[in-house]
Each structure stands twice: as C-alpha cells, then as structure tokens.
Amino acid sequence: MGVAVSNWRLARAVSKEGQLGVVSGTLLAVVQSRILQQGDPGGHLRRAFDRFPAPAVAERVWNNYFVPGGIAPDAPFKAVPMPTLTPSAAFTELIVVACFAEVFLAKEGHSGRVGMNLLEKIQLPTLPSLYGAMLAGVDTVLMGAGIPRAIPGVLDQLARGEAAELKIDIEGAAPDDPVRVMRFNPRTIFPERIPAVHRPAFIAIVSSATLASTLAKKIVGPR
C-alpha cells in the first residue's frame, strides 16, 4: 500500500483478473498534483477529471496544478497545503477530485471490484478522501494502522448525502482538552444537488485477536 505503488494501474490489473484491486489513498492529493505538474503524461487524469460529476470543481483543481508539457526537470513542484482541521475549499476539492480520479481509472473499462486503502492514523484527509472514492463507485474501503471504529458510520452518512464528522486523536492531549473534530459536508462540492453514491463495504485491517474483538464491540454503524 505504499504511496503511488498500489496505484490505479496495479489495482486495475488485479481487478480485471477477478480479485479485489486496491489503490492506496495515502497522499493522493500530493501524487496527483505532481502528475499534473508533469503535464499529465498519457492524459489519464484529464480523462478522469472530465467524468467528475462537478465539472467546475475538477476544472479548478486542473487549472491550479496542470502545467502543459510539464515543469522543467530541475524545477520544484508547487506545494500542496498541509492538512488541518479547517482546510481551505481548494484543498478539500483537490482531495475529493484526486481520490475520485484514482478509483475511476482503476475501475475504467471492466466490471471488477476496486477498493481503497486508507490509514486510521492519518485522519485529517479521511472524510474528503472517502467521499471522492465513493463518487467514483469504490466497492470496498480498507483501513488499518489503528482502530477505525467510526468509519462504517461515516460511510453510511456520506452515502445518504449527509455531513459527516470524525474525532481527531491528538497525541499528548489531556483528558480535559477540548475534543477536536474534522467535518465534511458533501454540499461543499455539490451546493445544489448531491448525487447518489453507493455505500461501499468496509474491511478493517487488524493485527491481533484483541484488536479485532475491540473493534467488533466498539464499531459505529454496520460493517
């Protein structure tokens, strides 16, 4: 599941063989922003962006990062903002469109199943990442590196077109510190009419029977 290792090409090849092809959702905003700055070799992202259900959003992302012909080999890439509890609209759009494009390309031209892998410990981009993948029809969400007990409930909310929130774990926080929450509303992408999306299956990646038992007891929403 390394960044840009389990990409749409690998997932598509696995899926076409009848298995679950899985794309890594980690840092997709950075990966795709750099592909755009390299001139989108092969035109694959342009093809995916053209299918995004909010064309104006996809075009804003494209115009912000695409460099015709690509940047010079010794030129630095344009930086992507760091995730925060209150991300800008532009950064949220980038995450949603990037995750949509990755899943769209993995599913393109066949009827096999495609999943997306995310890490529980990288929480700030999770909500827009899930929604972007769901817009592209992702079949399964896989998540490890923690206890992702809130994710099934989040998937339910996003599938209904509702706003979702996720408690953010803060290392070193005292018990009386205020709870930090990340929020995402589909209406930030679709202010008028929210499209219907499929609720994907959820698979938690666990490393011990104790963790599996804890997750089964504390999970929010159906599996």
The larger pLDDT score, comparing residue 4 to residue 134, is at 134
pLDDT tens per residue, range 127-185: 999 999 999 999 999 988 767 778 899 999 999 999 999 887 777 766 666 768 889 99
214-217-218-221 Cα dihedral, nearest 10 degrees: 130
Q: Give how far Cα 103 sits from Cα of 2, 47, 57, 80, 91, Å.
A: 16, 12, 17, 21, 19
| Strand, coil or helix: 180 | strand
| Strand, coil or helix: 164 | strand
Long-range contacts of 59-68 (CB under 8 A, 24+ apart): 60/90, 60/93, 61/90, 61/93, 61/94, 61/97, 61/98, 62/36, 64/90, 64/94, 65/32, 65/33, 65/36, 65/37, 65/94, 66/36, 66/37, 66/39, 66/40, 67/36, 67/37, 67/38, 67/39, 68/39
Element spanning 98, H or E: helix 89-107
- DSSP character string of 61-72: HHHHH--TT---
Task: Give the pLDDT score at 45.
Answer: 97
The larger pLDDT score, comparing residue 221 to residue 172, is at 172
